[in-house]
Amino acid sequence: MSAARYEAVIGLEVHVQLKTRSKMFCSCATSFGAQPNTNVCPVCLGYPGTMPVMNREAIRLTVLSGLMLGCRINPRSKFDRKSYFYPDMPKNYQITQYDQPLCLGGGVEIEGAGGLATVPLTRIHLEEDVAKNMHFATCSGVDFNRAGSPLMEIVSEPAMHTPEEAVAYLQGLKQTLMYAGVSDCNLEEGNMRCDVNVSLRPAGATALGTKAELKNLNSFKSVLLALRAEIERQEELLQAGGRVVQETRRWDVEAGATFLMRTKEDAHDYRYFPEPDLMPVVLSEAQIADWARGLPETPRQRRARFASEYSLPEYDARVLAADKAVGDYFEAAARGSKAPKIVSNWVMTEMLRRLGETGQEIAAVKVTPAALAELVELTEAGAINSNTARELFGELFANGGSPRTLVETRGLAQVSDSGALQALVDQAIRENAKSAEDFRGGKAVALKFLTGQVMRLSRGKANPQVAVQLLEERLKR
């Protein structure tokens, strides 16, 4: 099989639940985890004769997202009815935006194999979410709590070519939306959902091939695996002389393959027409400028600022800014610190490793930023050595507390006083005559071993530099 014969073309449609208090067209709460069908009213249940009322905050959050992603904001957009028949939508139409969406163009910055790149966006529009069908052993039910929640749809151009690039796009998009603070963007929890479109074309061709749309992708891993499997399926089909049919396919994690759900409707099947019960959304330049002024920092701006404000290497700035919460934590600890690079080291290594191991969120971690700053201060001042600092970090991570108090109550202060260390140095030499001999005979590694012995005798509290110095003095005599 020759991978070079076909090129994959990928475009994503991402739905993001906006963090508003109430729904898109009624005053029901958007809160999750409530008993089924408790956050409902005649509007979001689609009773005939009810009237939608637009949620201004949802418009603002969508415009904010668009500005963060470099979109053009449409000064005049409108809502449309998309007709279809399914139990998740009792009105038999969904209110969405068809030909005049809120945002146009823009792009998502990704870090691909060839460095930084931008995946262009087609549009961002706003719509209402639908209900959730639930299937039980002997019956099915419909939960309308989610119905009518504001949903932002972000449509990319068909401009990606590998599964890895698609995942990088999703990560980049999530990063920016988290910075914007408009959504929790959790694929597993379903407040960020994506449909992946993929087609193949002969390498070098410019016309697009026929695409399949993949659904049921609720993790980055699923997106990656589903795309790999689907590209392989289409490739085999084409190589066998067949052709791809435009259809919607469902990713099955267990089977590791995609399965046909339905052949895809064309847009005219939805019979889109303007929603007669809502006015167009007209945004003045002054209004857009006002929202733009309150725009949060973008990931790119934060990277640059971290590098300059805290004199961090590019690499550190990128790691710390990758996740907004991690960057917030770093900044809270580094702001008053004389050694921000050391703070960065702790966050990038010990902290991220332990968060990964325990699955905790950095915002809820027991080591407060102030405690980390204090730990760094104690190390920098030579009050504790690096062994003790690492142990203390573990203790703080597990139980919290103040590093300074722990050092005092547990007697962990570093011993740098040569008088106090001299006896331990003598003992180490006495008990390891062979190593002392080796060192005198020119084996430099023997000194490392002896230093280790002094550290052990001091129960880890000796200042290693002072220990080495004293050992050298003793052994040279």
Residues that bind ligand ADP (CB under 6 A): 9-13, 155-158, 197-199, 208-209, 211, 264, 267
Cα end-to-end distance, the chain, whole Å: 73
Q: Enter the tokens of residue 128.
A: 């209402």
* Nearest residue relative to ligand ADP (C-beta): 11
Which option in ligand ADP, Zn ion, none does residue 26 bind, with CB closer than 5 to 8 A by kind? Zn ion
Q: Which amino acid would we find at residue 128?
A: E
Q: From the list ligand ADP, Zn ion, none, which binds 267 (C-beta under 5 to 8 Å, kind-based)?
A: ligand ADP
Q: In the complex, what is the shortest distance from the CB of residue 170 to ligand ADP, in angstroms, rounded to a whole number? A: 12
3-state secondary structure 134-164: EECCCCEEEECCCCCCEEEEEEECCCECCHH
Strand-strand pairing, 115-128 and 150-156: antiparallel
* Coil/strand/helix, residue 196: strand
To the nearest whole angstrom, how small is the minimum distance from the Cβ of residue 150 to Zn ion?
12
Query: Looking only at Cα atoms, what is the longest distance across the chain?
Result: 100
Residue number, 26 or 151, with CB nearest to Zn ion: 26
x/- track of binding to Zn ion for residues 348-387 (CB under 5 A): ----------------------------------------
- By C-beta, is 78 or 125 nearer to ligand ADP? 125
Q: Residue 185 or residue 454: which is nearer to ligand ADP going by CB? A: 185
Q: Which does 28 bind (CB under 5 to 8 A by kind): ligand ADP, Zn ion, none?
A: Zn ion
Q: Which is nearer to ligand ADP, 9 or 343 (by Cβ)?
A: 9
| C-beta closer to ligand ADP: residue 9 or 24 | 9
Site pattern 34..73 for Zn ion (x: CB under 5 A): -------x-xx-----------------------------
- Give the nearest distance from C-beta 151 to Zn ion in angstroms: 15
In angstroms, what is the minimal distance from the CB of 341 to ligand ADP? 42
Among Zn ion, ligand ADP, none, residue 41 binds (CB under 5-8 Å by kind): Zn ion
Q: Which is nearer to ligand ADP, 14 or 384 (CB)?
A: 14
Length of the chain: 477
CB distance 169 to 159 below 8 Å: no
Q: Which is nearer to ligand ADP, 19 or 264 (CB)?
A: 264
Q: Which two tokens mark 130?
A: 């639908």
3-state secondary structure 223-261: HHHHHHHHHHHHHHHHHCCCCCCCEEEEEECCCCEEEEE
Pick from ligand ADP, Zn ion, none: which does 337 bind, CB < 5 to 8 A by kind? none
CA atoms of 161 and 167, how far apart (whole Å): 11
**182 close to 124: Cβ distance less than 8 angstroms:** no
DSSP state of 266: P
Structure tokens, 333 = 């600890």
Tell me the two tokens of residue 56. Answer: 């201004």
Minimum Å gap between C-beta 160 and ligand ADP is 9
Q: Which does 373 bind (CB under 5 to 8 A by kind): Zn ion, ligand ADP, none?
A: none
Nearer to ligand ADP, 264 or 318 (CB): 264
CA distance 188 to 223: 12
Shortest distance, position 360 Cβ to ligand ADP, whole Å: 35
**Can you tell me whether residue 186 is helix, strand or coil?**
coil
Hey, which residues between 21 and 40 contact Zn ion (CB under 5 A)? 26, 28
Tokens 């404000």 sit on residue = 309
Q: What's the DSSP call for residue 265?
A: P
Name the minimum Å distance from CB 42 to Zn ion: 7
Q: In the bound complex, what is the minimum distance in angstroms from residue 96's beta carbon to ligand ADP? A: 12
Q: How far is the CB of 144 from Zn ion (least distance, A)?
A: 8
Cβ(344)–Cβ(354) below 8 Å: no
CA pair distance 264, 86, nearest whole angstrom: 15
CB nearer ligand ADP, residue 250 or residue 404? 250
Distance CA 305, CA 334 (A): 13
Residues forming the site for Zn ion (CB under 5 A): 26, 28, 41, 43-44
